[in-house]
Chain A
Amino acid sequence: MRADAAERVESGGLVLLTLAAWLVPGSGHLWLGRRTKGLIFLVALTAMFAIGLALQGRIFPFEASQPLVFLAAIADLAMGLPYLLAWALNLGQGQVAAVTYEYANAFLIVSGLLNMLVVLDVYDTAVGRK
């Protein structure tokens, strides 16, 4: 499996692989031939992000004056394409008064953070560390 993954990365490009893994959660694993893992990441992370939006969560803006908000924005951005779609469609305005607001933000932020771990896992797999 290690040799397979390394061979595929050499032809495809490590940068392109990690970029794809960030953009579409699970796609990096699918690229490396780890279908089950890739599909689970794709479904689970996308579902977490969608649930966060459905529960009135907020896509945080990049406000340098508020460090925690800025960090939350980075975590949101880590979701890749779902984040970009939500941003383009003006979703994720956030309803502070909603009873689910804090949970929704937890879903949104953690889905992005988990996708960061998934991207790192793709990189490790691609270079033969796993």
Chain B
Amino acid sequence: MTSHFLLMVLFSFFVALVFAVLMKDEPRAQVRFGAVVFGGFILSALVLGWLMFPFPF
């Protein structure tokens, strides 16, 4: 797999999973927190990628 986007999604999933399980004890809170972290990773990566698009390097 060489797609940077898919690798970023995979990376975000694992990090969000570990953070959620680490920070929260209740399953529902873990799912909610994990979803927020995962979404935050994806959204910020897309926004930063879009902002950096015009850069020549």
Contacts from A to B (Cβ < 8 Å): 36-37, 40-41, 44-45, 47-48, 51, 55, 99-100, 103, 106-107, 110, 114, 117-118, 121
Chain B residue contacts of A118, Cβ below 8 A:
18, 22
Contacts from B to A (Cβ < 8 Å): 1-2, 4, 7-8, 10-11, 14-15, 17-18, 21-22
Chain B residue contacts of A55, Cβ below 8 A:
1, 7
Report whether B17 and A44 are in contact in the complex, using a CB–CB cutoff of 8 Å.
Answer: yes
Majority secondary structure of chain A interface residues (helix, strand, loop or mixed)? helix
Report whether A107 and B2 are in contact in the complex, using a CB–CB cutoff of 8 Å.
Answer: no
A118 and B15 alpha carbons, distance in the complex (Å): 12
Known A99-B2, A103-B4; judge A37-B21 contact (CB<8 A). yes
